[in-house]
C-alpha cells in the first residue's frame, strides 16, 4: 500500500535493549484515518513500538515510514518536521512540571504556529474542554490526579490537530465513565478530523470501542491482527485468554 493509504509503516523492525529483544521483526501498516489498537501483556514492547513511530527510538534493524518519509534515514531536522504531524500521549502523560496545564497544551501551538497569544490560550482552553479540564488551565501538573494528568496530556497531544495520534494507555488511572468519554473523544477525532490513531491499551472494552483493527504483540512479535471478534476466535490461547480476561475488561 502507498504512504497515502498507510501513513505509518514498519518493515521488519527489530530492537534490543542489552540482550533483551523487545521487538522482533515487526512489520505492520496502519491505514489512513483508522484506529489500530495494540494489545499485549506488560513488557511486550507496545510503548517501544510507539516510540519507533515518532522517532524517539531507532530500530536496530528494519525501516519505519511515517507519511511516506523513512524516519530511519532522515536527518534530525527533517525528523522534527515529521513529528509536527504526530501527537503523542505518553504512558505517564509527561507533562512539563514547570508549566501550567494550559501552557502545556499551548506549548506546541506557541512553538509551531503563528497564532496570537490570545488564540493560543483560546485553543488550549478548547482542547482542555474536550477532555473535561477547562477549569484547570492555571493549575500545575503536580496539583492534578493521575487521570487528570493523562487527560491533560491527551489535550496537549491533540493541540495541533495532528494527522497521526499515538496514544499510550488512554484509560490508565481513569474511572470507567471518564474512560468511556475519552474513548468517544478519540473516535470522534478519528471521524471528524480523519486522524490516524495508534492506541496502546490493556482495556479490552476500550479497545473494542476505539479500534478498527486490533493487533496482539507477544514476545516482540505481532502474533495476530484482526477485528475484536477475530482475536476472540484466535488459534492462540494467550490471545483468547487476554480478550476474555477480567483485567482486560
Partner 1 sequence: MPSWVNTFFVLPMARVGDSISFATRALVAALRPPFEFKETARQLYEIGWLSVPLIAVSGFAVGIVLSMHTRASLERFGAEALIPAALTLALVRETGPLVVGLLVSGRVGAGIGAELGAMKVTEQIDALEASAVDSFKFLVVTRMVACVVAMPILTTVMNFTGILGGWAAESAVSGLGFFSYIRAAFSIVEFTDYLPGTLKTMVFGFIIAVTASYLGINSSHGTQGVGRAATRSVVLASVLLIATNVVLVRLIFFVFPESAQ
Under rule CB under 8 A, residue 145 binds partner 1: no
- For residue 76, the minimal CB distance to partner 1 (Å) is 8
Sign of torsion over alpha carbons 20, 22, 23, 24: positive
Which of 36-44, 107-115, 185-193, 234-242 is the region at the interface with partner 1 (rule: CB under 8 A)? 107-115
Return d(Cα 89, Cα 153) in angstroms, integer: 6
- For residue 16, the minimal CB distance to partner 1 (Å) is 18
Closer to partner 1 at the Cβ: 99 or 238?
99
Return d(Cα 86, Cα 53) in angstroms, integer: 9
Question: Angle 227-228-230 (CA atoms, 0-180°, nearest 5)?
Answer: 65
Under rule CB under 8 A, residue 108 binds partner 1: yes
Which of 67-75, 79-87, 116-124, 208-216 is the region at the interface with partner 1 (rule: CB under 8 A)? 79-87
Under rule CB under 8 A, residue 84 binds partner 1: yes
Q: For cell 510507539, name the residue.
A: 50
Return d(Cα 34, Cα 197) in angstroms, integer: 6
Residues that bind partner 1 (CB under 8 A): 51, 54, 56, 76, 80-81, 83-84, 86, 88, 90-92, 94-97, 107-108, 111-112
Amino acid at each position: 500500500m502507498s504512504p497515502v493509504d498507510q501513513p505509518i509503516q514498519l518493515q521488519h523492525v527489530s530492537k534490543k535493549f542489552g540482550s533483551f529483544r523487545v521487538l522482533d521483526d515487526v512489520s505492520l501498516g496502519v491505514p489512513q484515518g483508522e484506529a489500530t489498537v495494540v494489545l499485549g501483556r506488560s513488557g511486550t514492547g507496545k510503548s517501544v513500538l510507539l516510540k519507533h513511530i515518532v522517532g524517539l527510538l531507532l530500530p536496530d534493524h528494519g525501516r519505519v515510514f511515517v507519511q511516506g518519509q523513512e524516519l530511519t534515514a532522515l536527518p534530525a531536522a527533517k525528523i522534527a518536521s515529521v513529528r509536527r504531524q504526530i501527537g503523542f500521549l505518553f504512558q505517564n502523560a509527561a507533562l512539563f512540571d514547570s508549566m501550567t496545564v494550559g501552557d502545556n497544551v499551548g506549548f506546541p501551538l506557541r512553538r509551531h504556529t503563528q497564532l496570537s497569544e490570545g488564540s493560543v490560550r483560546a485553543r488550549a482552553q478548547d482542547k482542555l474542554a474536550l477532555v473535561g479540564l477547562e477549569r484547570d488551565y492555571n493549575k500545575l501538573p503536580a496539583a492534578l490526579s493521575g487521570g487528570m494528568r493523562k487527560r491533560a496530556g491527551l489535550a496537549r497531544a491533540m493541540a495541533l490537530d495532528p494527522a497521526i495520534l499515538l496514544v499510550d494507555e488512554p484509560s490508565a488511572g481513569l474511572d470507567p465513565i471518564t474512560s468511556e468519554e475519552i474513548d468517544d473523544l478519540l473516535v470522534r477525532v478519528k471521524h471528524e478530523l480523519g486522524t490516524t490513531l495508534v492506541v496502546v491499551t490493556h482495556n479490552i472494552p476500550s479497545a473494542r470501542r476505539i479500534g478498527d483493527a486490533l493487533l496482539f504483540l507477544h514476545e516482540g512479535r505481532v502474533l495476530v491482527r484482526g477485528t475484536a471478534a477475530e482475536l476472540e476466535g484466535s488459534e492462540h490461547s494467550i490471545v483468547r485468554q487476554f480478550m476474555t480476561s477480567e483485567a482486560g475488561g
